[in-house]
Amino acid sequence: MAFESLFVSAFVYLLTAVICVPLAKRLGLSSVLGYLVAGFVIGPFVLGLVGEEGADVMHFAEFGVVLMLFLIGLELRPALLWRLRGPILGLGGAQVGITMVAIGAIGMSFGLGWQVALAVGMALALSSTAIVLQSLQEKNLTKSSGGQSAFSVLLFQDIAVIPMLAVFPMLATLAPAVSNDHRVEEVGPVQDWLAHQPGWMATLLVFAAVIFIILAGKYLFQPILNIVAKTRVRETFVALALLLVIGIALLMSMLGVSPALGTFLAGVVLADSQYRHELEADLEPFKGLLLGVFFISVGASIDFSLIAAKPNLVAALVVGLMVLKAAILFGLGTLTKLLLDQRMLFSLSLAQGGEFAFVLLGFGVAEGVVGGEVAQMLIASVALSMVLTPLVLILEEKVIRPRFGTRESDDREPDPMEEDAPVILAGFGRFGNFVGRLLRSQKIEMTVIDSDPDHVDFLRRIGIKAFYGDVNRHDLLEAAGAYKAKILIITLSNQEDTDSLIETAQKHFPHLKLMVRALERPHQYKTLEAGVDYCIHQHAGSATELGKAALVLLGVRAHRAERVTKAFRKHDLESVRLAAKKTHKDKKAYISHVRERLNDMERQFEEDQQDRQTPIDQAWDTQSVKNDILKK
């Protein structure tokens, strides 16, 4: 029975997502809006397909936010995070502080007690990490300076939730509500124990947990990932990735800290690891799906009876909240000298209330800080503001942005969240390592992907940016910076992998120049036929070198051996190109062609014996000069 209802819910959620998201996309709207509207449609006030369990689903789907923060952490190397510390603390701190005070002041002017007003201010100062980041990513704006500023503010907000949750109980003016909110029921023995400890103990434990995550990231996760990667069973790796995130989330929530923050930290620690891209690629679908469910449940949770009862009040709250937040953000954007269009993006994207408002307000009701009715009203307003955000961003993109002259060009700032080496080298075995070493000797940046953990380990030890992963997955290729790279060099030792990688690259990243190691003659024909930019038979270089050395050993003068070898190579290359054109058209023609080229080669060797083998040799043939002189 439980299974059945689970399946029914899953069916309803997935079906709505599958219908609404493509529809939203078709209409040129963002997928976030599609999910939100989908939730609204299946919610209790329209179709009523989901009802009471909506809130539980939302808590479950919040794990999507946790996963998202982990993935964001993975893309932020510690060094980069350190560089962003200014905007995070300055911009983020200012946004939260000013907004909190402003909203608190307004609340008090409407007759709320200062404790309640402050609590509401805290809850509403926060924006929705999930909606903002997902929308920015979808519009490819994360790298713009406005997007970066928004990210910094969101990060600060995620951190700010911790002290807020700690302060909330102190603001209680009402008797704690006897609520059936499961958050209260779920208080386990650890929380219970924690609740009876002095404040410094809890703080100490949080610090201990943070240090544990940092150390474990380096000395525990890394070796475990190593071991599992070596088994080369992909689902085990996926399982391990999920296990890591869930484990950290559990630990953090036990300590009363935002699990998202804990996993973010773990992500940052692992950002320097060779498994970064593999982790990203493995967790991405889970994150996407869960975030979708999260957005649906936000849509479904909007209490329309409340809105219907006091439409004017709710409308005033939503508009007031968004205008106030946007105005404060705009001011901050002006202070930090963002260009006008970036300031617009920055202020409009962060103007909504966020999922943390649900948490804080729910917690506030339970602790007797905020009255139930006020909280319900605010929760409805926040949810509406979240739904409005994608619409506001569309307005920004279609109407506001085109009217301003100060546009930031798309490629002005490099994206620090992605690999940006010009070369991706797929395969670093006995062939690829020569290629890699040569390029590196010229200080050319490259991203190496290899499916052998030992190779990757070794490479990283000597300071080469190498990642473990199955090169054939286009998401991994993307994570390795395929959009930014110029060249993809494929030096795999397996023909099937090589062929499918060529196909993947040509399909998803047509701008990439492809350079390929062919494993044998027919493979070379096939590869050339596929239209790659450069292809060499894996033995073309070394085998002819050996042949040349043999000639020298047999007494041929070195320079002559050199000339003959070059002539041979050139001839060989021409023959391959010609044959490649013919192979696919006609098998018979190919065979006769090979025969013809073989005859051609024989002819060349015959000519060698007549001492006229290459055009260059005629230059040093003195016979004609002698004849001329004798004639005179």
Partner 1 sequence: MEKTLILFTHPALEKSKVHRALKEGVENLEGVTFHDLYEEYPDFYIDVQREQALLLEHSKIIWQHPLYWYSVPALMKEWIDVVLQHGWAYGSDGTVLEGKTVKSVISTGGSEKAYCPQGHNYYPVEEFLRPLERTAVLCRMEYLEPMIFYGAFQLDGDALSSAVDRYRKYLQTS
The residues that touch partner 1, with contacts defined as CB under 8 A, are 563, 566-567, 570, 615-616, 618-620, 624-625, 628, 631
Kindly tell me which of 67 and 564 has the beta carbon lying closer to partner 1: 564
Which residue do the tokens 């928004």 mark? 150
* Separation between Cα atoms, residue 304 and residue 539, nearest integer Å: 72
Query: For the chain, how big is the Rg over CA atoms in Å?
Result: 32
Q: Which amino acid is at 164?
A: M
Reduced 3-state DSSP string for 594-629: HHHHHHHHHHHHHHHHCCCCCHHHHHCCCHHHHHHH
For residue 608, the minimal CB distance to partner 1 (Å) is: 16
Residues forming a β-bridge with 514? 488
Half-sphere exposure of 555 (CA within 13 A, CB side): 0
Kindly tell me which of 172 and 536 has the beta carbon lying closer to partner 1: 536
Which residue do the tokens 């002559």 mark? 560
Virtual torsion, Cα 434, 436, 439, 445, nearest 10 deg: -170
* Separation between Cα atoms, residue 629 and residue 213, nearest integer Å: 89
For residue 574, the minimal CB distance to partner 1 (Å) is: 12
Considering Cα of 549, then 550, then 553, then 556, what sign does the dihedral take? negative
State the DSSP code for 412. S
- Interhelix angle for 129-138 vs 145-167, to 10°? 170
Contact 96, 156 (CB under 8 A): yes
Kindly tell me which of 334 and 618 has the beta carbon lying closer to partner 1: 618
* Separation between Cα atoms, residue 320 and residue 327, nearest integer Å: 10
For residue 559, the minimal CB distance to partner 1 (Å) is: 10
Q: Which helix (H) or strand (E) holds 215?
A: helix 199-216
For residue 545, the minimal CB distance to partner 1 (Å) is: 13
For residue 422, the minimal CB distance to partner 1 (Å) is: 17
* Separation between Cα atoms, residue 411 and residue 395, nearest integer Å: 23
Kindly tell me which of 407 and 626 has the beta carbon lying closer to partner 1: 626
For residue 436, the minimal CB distance to partner 1 (Å) is: 21
Kindly tell me which of 178 and 629 has the beta carbon lying closer to partner 1: 629
* Separation between Cα atoms, residue 31 and residue 37, nearest integer Å: 10
For residue 521, the minimal CB distance to partner 1 (Å) is: 24
Virtual torsion, Cα 474, 149, 30, 319, nearest 10 deg: 170
For residue 570, the minimal CB distance to partner 1 (Å) is: 8
For residue 544, the minimal CB distance to partner 1 (Å) is: 13
For residue 619, the minimal CB distance to partner 1 (Å) is: 4
* Separation between Cα atoms, residue 630 and residue 51, nearest integer Å: 110
For residue 622, the minimal CB distance to partner 1 (Å) is: 8
Residue 270 sits at the vertex; the CA angle it makes with 269 and 275, to the nearest 5 degrees, is 170
Which residue do the tokens 């073309």 mark? 540
Kindly tell me which of 407 and 570 has the beta carbon lying closer to partner 1: 570
Comparing C-alpha atoms, which of 326, 350, 316, 311 is closest to residue 110? 316
Kindly tell me which of 305 and 441 has the beta carbon lying closer to partner 1: 441
For residue 549, the minimal CB distance to partner 1 (Å) is: 17
Kindly tell me which of 1 and 629 has the beta carbon lying closer to partner 1: 629
Kindly tell me which of 276 and 563 has the beta carbon lying closer to partner 1: 563
Judging by DSSP bridges, how do beta strands 423-426 and 446-450 pair with one another?
Answer: parallel
Kindly tell me which of 175 and 625 has the beta carbon lying closer to partner 1: 625
Phi, psi of 444 (to 5 degrees): -90, 125
Q: Give me 308's structure tokens.
A: 């219907």
Kindly tell me which of 23 and 438 has the beta carbon lying closer to partner 1: 438
For residue 613, the minimal CB distance to partner 1 (Å) is: 12
Phi, psi of 467 (to 5 degrees): -130, 145
* Separation between Cα atoms, residue 497 and residue 570, nearest integer Å: 29
Kindly tell me which of 316 and 616 has the beta carbon lying closer to partner 1: 616
Kindly tell me which of 454 and 533 has the beta carbon lying closer to partner 1: 533
